Structure 1
Amino acid sequence: MTKLTTLEYLRRLIDGTLTPAETTHFIYPTATSQLVGYKVSEVSEGYACLTLQADPGLHGNQQGTIHGGMLCELADAAMGTALSTLLQEGESFASIDLSIKFLRPAWATTLKSYARPVQIGKSVVHYTCEIKNAEDKVVAIASGTFMILRGNAAKGR
């Protein structure tokens, strides 16, 4: 087994060069991403873009649009993925808060969630995330605050 940084692991996952012998200290693809169907489509240090082929039949609410909770999950996952690229083995993180503003409804479309850091501290990190539809129109804007965990606080997370 070869242990990679999370950033290198995700880069290889995206470009299709990841081998079964390569691992990282986080679990990718996540159980949620497999259940819901989103994928990491872009990644760099501190940045991630997740893509979802949104389907109201799978991700919809009673009005037939993509459920706000689904958009929230997509933003949270993008911010968490982006943050994970900054962390070393033995480090983890926990969400402190998450806020989202819904700007327009989405139906069957490709949604992309772009997560970028606003401020990176030693123990607290602030992120922002824009979710855009296939027409490149912003559907939602989210922000999140995360605590970096180290040592015993990171074990089992």
Structure 2
Amino acid sequence: MPGSDTAALPVLEYLQRHVAGALRPGDRTHMRYPTAISAFLGFRIVDVGEGTASVGVEVDAARHGNQQGTVHGGFLVELADAAIGTAHSTLMRPGETFTSIDIRTAFLRPVWSGSLVATARPTHSGRTISHYACDVIRDDGKPVATVTSTVMTLRGERAAGR
């Protein structure tokens, strides 16, 4: 349960150690990393800062594709959501958690294979409601999608059991 482990590292410090390959035995935080969905989809955190994060993945339309033979849009949205969630989690303290309440995507161009990186940053950080923008970029430097999301921070009883 969030907040029950006083020896846990702050999320940002834990993730910075993770990205640097410097996690030590016993290092932990009050949130779950890697998330189950990110591990399943092969996502990796490639950069993290206070309220920011970049998440990468290798894609191939043969595995991640839609009917047209390009990487599925839902997969791109999930990648952006992982970056946004990682970014927001760096701001969470024990006893706090969060939930997405809105996500919107503009698809810009197709992708068939290669590396993708989704980079999330806050556009407004409030006590309870925060807004994020996230760009999903192909390995040729061209944007694939832009995503915006609204995230609500939960505290106390609202955070219990999440």
1:119 counterpart (110, 113, 124): 124
State the shift of 1:46 in Å.
0.4
Q: Output the TM-score relative to the length of structure 2.
A: 0.94
SS of the counterpart of 1:139? strand
Residues 1:109 and 1:125: Cα distance change in structure 2 (over 3 Å): same
Structure 2: runs of 5 or more not aligned: none
Amino acid at match of 2:49: S
Partner residue, 1:98: 103
Partner residue, 2:45: 40
2:147 counterpart (128, 133, 142): 142
> Over residues 36-62 of structure 1, what are the superposed CA-to-partner deviations in whole Å (9 max), with x where a residue is unaligned?
001000000000000011121221112
Amino acid at match of 1:22: D
> Over residues 98-148 of structure 1, what are the superposed CA-to-partner deviations in whole Å (9 max), with x where a residue is unaligned?
000000001111000000000011110000000000011000000000111
Partner residue, 2:90: 85
Partner residue, 2:9: 4
Q: How many residues align?
A: 157
1:17 counterpart (22, 29, 47): 22
State the shift of 1:87 in Å.
1.1
CA distance in 1, matches of 2:34, 2:62: 23
CA distance in 1, matches of 2:57, 2:128: 30
CA distance in 1, matches of 2:18, 2:125: 26
Give the 4+ runs in structure 1 shifted more than 4 A.
Answer: none
CA distance in 1, matches of 2:33, 2:107: 28
1:131 counterpart (103, 121, 136): 136
CA distance in 2, matches of 1:128, 1:41: 17
Amino acid at match of 2:146: I
CA distance in 2, matches of 1:45, 1:57: 36
Identity of aligned pairs, percent?
48
> Over residues 43-99 of structure 1, what are the superposed CA-to-partner deviations in whole Å (9 max), with x where a residue is unaligned?
000000000111212211121111000000001110010000011111010111000
Q: Output the TM-score relative to the length of structure 1.
A: 0.97
Amino acid at match of 1:65: T
CA distance in 2, matches of 1:108, 1:15: 26
